[in-house]
Amino acid sequence: MQKPDRELGQETRVVHGGPDPDPHYGAVSVPIYQSSTFAFHDADEGAARFAGTDPGYKYTRLGNPTTRALEQCVAELEGGFAALATSTGMAAVSTVLLGLLSKGEHVVGTDAVYGPTRLLAEKHLSRFGIESDWVRTENIDFLRRAIRPNTRMIYIETPANPTIKISDLEACGRLAREIGAYFVVDNTFSSPILQQPFRFGADVVVHSMTKYLNGHSDVVAGIFVSRDQEMHQRLAPMLQTLGGTPDPHQSWLVLRGLRTLAMRVEKAQDNAGRLAEWLAQHPKVAWISYPGLPSHPQHELAKKQMSGPGAMISFGVRGGLEAAKTMINSVRLCVLAVSLGGIETLIEHPASMTHAGVPAKERAEACITDDLVRVSVGCESFEDLKHDLEQALAAVPVFQDSRRSV
Ligand SMILES: Cc1ncc(COP(=O)(O)O)c(C=O)c1O
């Protein structure tokens, strides 16, 4: 098949990205190579595969054609050299941290990262002599002040979870280069449709594919993409040894979901923008964080580094913890569940759910307040979502306190 003679848009890449149709039968959908191991024609071929002189497959933990198709598609979307899929998003995060950091080194990252990412560093990597600091990276001066002589990695999640604060990728990338540190970006919240961190100097981009890339709340999976061959060659053996590789069927499901990523993000983002405008005016909403609103402190920065503000909204329910709980207990259409990026709208309370493992003091410093409700806006009809949130907010008693928590 001849290759297109022009640079393709992201919408085209999600549909066509990855290898050409199956060379054996022309199957348009990538076949599921549900095999743990691959036969060699003879001993020499087996030896050549293990020596790396024959690029064929050997064993699914070390590589699988279905998984490779998914990896190729995501690497193209992110604009990186190569990607490696993992069994979960946390398998991607842990492989990258373990693969790039050594004893005595230090990582500084966004304070409001996904809770277990921070726990991994603070509770587990610390046992192996790796130090970490988690600061408000939306302020580059805070990040700069946390740098130490042994800082070897800057780890940014933007937009951050669950505050939806934005860090300046270009400035963070510049700082990482200046101090000779790796620059790792968790791009889960935006997906490569809205943000491509390699453009701003990232060395590695990680994703929980459980979220937007798969998009149907039916698979857990992750992936990391390396900027260049050197990084890829450094991280690949780490993944193969740790063993957090996906099952071929899991990879196929994610690839199928990925094909509609652009459409899903567009619809969800449109719903989110309209809901955010409406919520911002609601008397029972104390504050709202959505990068598409001019009131968001990094609204201009979001416009600069993202091609759209996304579909994640966080807001404070006036009245604090009890009010937030009443609200999320009252939804009838939105689903009360953690996770995000699916076609259905999900609502959760980070302080008692996704970020409950982060100590209260650190939660407060990261602005993960008790009144914060996070909504992952999905692809339903806008009017139905608005009606559901309206009736859920109506169930909350009226509180006079008008303080803004973030
Ligand atoms: C931003 C972010 N990164 C990483 C992860 C971890 O992904 P997984 O749950 O697939 O292990 C999550 C999960 O919620 C997340 O939101």
Q: What is the DSSP letter of 259?
A: T
Residue 175 has a pLDDT of 98
CATH class of the structural domain 10-258? alpha beta
Please name the residues in contact with 196: beta carbons below 8 A apart, sequence gap of 6 or more: 78, 79, 187
Using omega within 30 degrees of 0 as the cis cutoff, is the peptide bond preceding 116 cis? no
**Domain 261-394 = CATH 3.80.30.20:** no
Torsion angle (degrees, nearest 10) of CA 382, 383, 385, 388 = 170
Strands (E) located in 277-404: 285-289, 312-317, 335-336, 346-348, 372-376
pLDDT computed for residue 400 by the predictor? 66
Distances (CA, A) of 43 to 40, 47, 64, 65: 7, 6, 20, 22
Structure confidence at residue 161 (pLDDT): 87
28 CA distance to ligand 1 middle (Å): 30
pTM as predicted? 0.95
Cα-flanking dihedrals φ and ψ of residue 344, to 5°?
-100, 150
Structure tokens at 159: 């937009």
Rounded-to-integer distance, Cα 152 and Cα 94, Å: 16
Same fold, 10-258 and 261-394: no
Contact (Cβ atoms closer than 8 angstroms) between residue 76 and residue 13: yes
Residue spans of the domains in the chain: they are: 10-258, 261-394
**Location of structure tokens 């490569």:** 192
Measured in Å, residue 89 CA sits from the centre of ligand 1 at: 5
The helices-and-strands tally (H runs, E runs) of the chain is 15, 12
Residue 356 is predicted with a pLDDT of 86
User: What does the pLDDT read at residue 329?
Assistant: 97
Residue 357 C-alpha to ligand 1 middle, in angstroms?
14
Predicted pLDDT of residue 343: 98
Ligand 1, pocket-test mutation among 111, 119, 208, 219, most atoms within 8 A of CB:
208
Contact present, 187 and 207 (Cβ < 8 Å):
yes
Which of 87, 119, 161, 340 maximizes ligand 1 atoms within 8 Å of its Cβ, making it the mutation to test the pocket? 161
The response to whether residue 190 sits with its C-beta less than 6 Å from ligand 1 reads no
Residue pair 170/164 in contact by the 8 Å Cβ criterion:
no
Collapse the DSSP code of 134 into the 3-class scheme (helix H, G, I; strand E, B; otherwise coil) and give the result: strand
Which structure tokens are listed for 316? Answer: 């404070």
CA–centroid distance, 211 to ligand 1, in Å, is 8
- Looking at residue 357, its pLDDT comes to 82
Q: Is the Cβ atom of 222 under 6 angstroms away from ligand 1?
A: yes
Task: Return the structure tokens found at 185.
Answer: 């970006």
For ligand 1, whether the C-beta of 94 sits within 6 Å is no
> Would you give the end-to-end CA distance of the chain in angstroms?
54
What tokens were used for 337?
A: 């569940």
Residues composing the chain: 406
- pLDDT for the residue 88: 98
33 CA to middle of ligand 1, Å? 26
Predicted local distance difference test score (pLDDT) of residue 107: 98
**Ligand 1 and 111: CB distance under 6 A:** no
Atom 2 in ligand 1: residue holding the nearest Cα: 114
CB 347 within 8 A of CB 314: no
136, HSE (Cβ side, Cα atoms, 13 Å): 15
How many angstroms separate the alpha carbon of residue 2 from the centre of ligand 1?
Answer: 38
pLDDT score, position 215: 98
> Which amino acid makes up residue 180?
G
Burial 80-92 (b: 16+ CB within 10 A, else e): bbbbbbbbbbbbb
Say if ligand 1 is within 6 A of residue 57 CB. Answer: no
Residues of the chain with pLDDT under 70: 400-406
Q: Write out the E strands in 203-358.
A: 204-208, 222-226, 285-289, 312-317, 335-336, 346-348
Protein residue closest via CA to atom 7 of ligand 1: 89
User: Is the Cβ atom of 348 under 6 angstroms away from ligand 1?
Assistant: no
Pocket test for ligand 1, best of 97, 210, 339, 348 (most atoms within 8 A of CB): 210
Nearest to 101 by CA among 44, 28, 153, 66: 153
pLDDT recorded at residue 371? 96
CA 184 to centroid of ligand 1, rounded, Å = 15
Q: Return d(Cα 401, Cα 40) in angstroms, integer.
A: 71
Residue 402 neighbours by CB under 8 Å, 6+ apart: 286, 318
Nearest to 372 by CA among 107, 164, 220: 164
The alpha carbon torsion through 190, 191, 193, 196 (nearest 10 deg) reads 90
Active site residues: 61, 114, 186, 211
For the chain, state the CA radius of gyration: 22
Interacting residues of 301 by C-beta distance below 8 A, sequence separation 6+: 166, 168
What is the atom index within ligand 1 of the atom nearest the CA of 338? 14
| CB 312 less than 6 A from any atom of ligand 1 | no
| Rounded CA separation 249/69 (Å) | 12
